[in-house]
Homo-oligomer: A and B are copies of this chain.
Amino acid sequence: MFYLIIDILGTIAFAISGVLVAMEKKLDVFGVLIIAFVTAVGGGTLRDLLIGIRPVGWLTAPIHIVIIIVTVFLAILFVKQLKYFRKSLFLFDTIGIGLYTMVGIEKGLLAELSPIMCIALGTITACFGGVTRDILCNEIPVIFRKEVYATICIVGGLSYFLIIQLPINNTIAHSAAIVIIIALRIIAVRFKVSLPNIYRD
Contact = CB atoms under 8 A, between A and B. Distances in A.
Given A52-B54, A54-B52, A117-B62, A198 B140 contact: no
Interface in A127-158: 131, 135-141, 143-146, 148, 150-151
Contacts of A194: 28
A56 interface: yes
A136 to B, nearest CB: 7
B198 A60 contact: no
Interface residues of A, number: 53
Copies of this protein chain in the complex: 3
B54 A59 contact: no
A113 interface: yes
A150 to B, nearest CB: 5
Contact of A140 (B137, B148, B199): B137
Interface string A174-201: 0000000000000000000011111100
Interface of A: 22-23, 25-32, 34-35, 45, 49-52, 54-56, 59-60, 62, 65, 76, 111, 113-114, 116-117, 120-121, 131, 135-141, 143-146, 148, 150-151, 194-199
24 contacts: A22-B144, A26-B145, A26-B199, A27-B145, A28-B146, A28-B194, A29-B195, A30-B150, A31-B140, A31-B143, A34-B144, A35-B144, A49-B49, A51-B59, A55-B113, A59-B113, A59-B120, A60-B113, A60-B117, A62-B117, A65-B120, A135-B135, A136-B140, A136-B141
